[in-house]
């Protein structure tokens, strides 16, 4: 299984989304967090299964919640760039690719 790391911004997005759903209904935020964890595990097991985009990322949409996990692979590490809501500004996270690429 491939090592997975979150960019700080992606981790904060996940935490904020968990809080948001938890405030809507007790337990819903934990459901969201569990779904994201399950999908990150699937990505780690088989990172190349999702199509490679022109920007070098791959994206995996969650089933129950309107989010996608955006990631790229660098030096055998999977980097989660964003846990992005489908209705947010499209590709707002792209600037992270340039400013946060690991050495």
In this predicted model, what pLDDT tens digit does every residue of 3-28 receive, in sequence order? 999 999 999 999 999 999 999 999 99
This model's pTM is above 0.85 = yes
CA-CA distance, 25 to 3, in Å (whole number)? 32
Domain assignment present for residue 101? The answer is: no
Domain assignment present for residue 18? The answer is: yes
CA-CA distance, 76 to 79, in Å (whole number)? 10
By CB atoms closer than 10 A (0-12, 13-18, 19+), residue 9 is middle
Domain assignment present for residue 95? The answer is: no
Domain assignment present for residue 13? The answer is: yes
Number of domains in the chain: 1
| End-to-end Cα distance, the chain | 22
pLDDT of 100 above 60: no
Predicted local distance difference test score (pLDDT) of residue 91: 83
CATH of the domain at 15: 3.30.2310.20
Domain assignment present for residue 56? The answer is: yes
Domain assignment present for residue 102? The answer is: no
Distance of CA 79 to the CA centre of its chain: 9
pLDDT in tens, 60-97: 999 999 999 999 999 899 999 999 999 887 788 988 88
Quote the domain boundaries for residue 72: 3-87
Judged by DSSP in three states, 85 sits in strand
Domain assignment present for residue 10? The answer is: yes
Domain assignment present for residue 92? The answer is: no
Nearest CA among 69, 78, 88, 80 for reference residue 8: 80
């Amino acid at each position: 299984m491939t090592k997975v790391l979150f960019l700080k911004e992606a981790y904060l997005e996940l935490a904020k989304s968990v809080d948001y759903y938890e405030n809507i209904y007790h337990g819903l935020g934990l459901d969201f967090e569990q779904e994201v964890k399950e999908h990150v595990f699937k990505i780690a097991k088989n990172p190349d299964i999702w199509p490679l985009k022109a920007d070098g990322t791959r994206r995996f949409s969650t089933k129950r919640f309107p989010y996608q996990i955006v990631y790229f692979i660098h030096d055998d590490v999977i980097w989660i760039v964003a846990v992005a809501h489908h209705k947010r500004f499209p590709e707002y996270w792209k600037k992270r690719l340039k400013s946060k690429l690991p050495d």
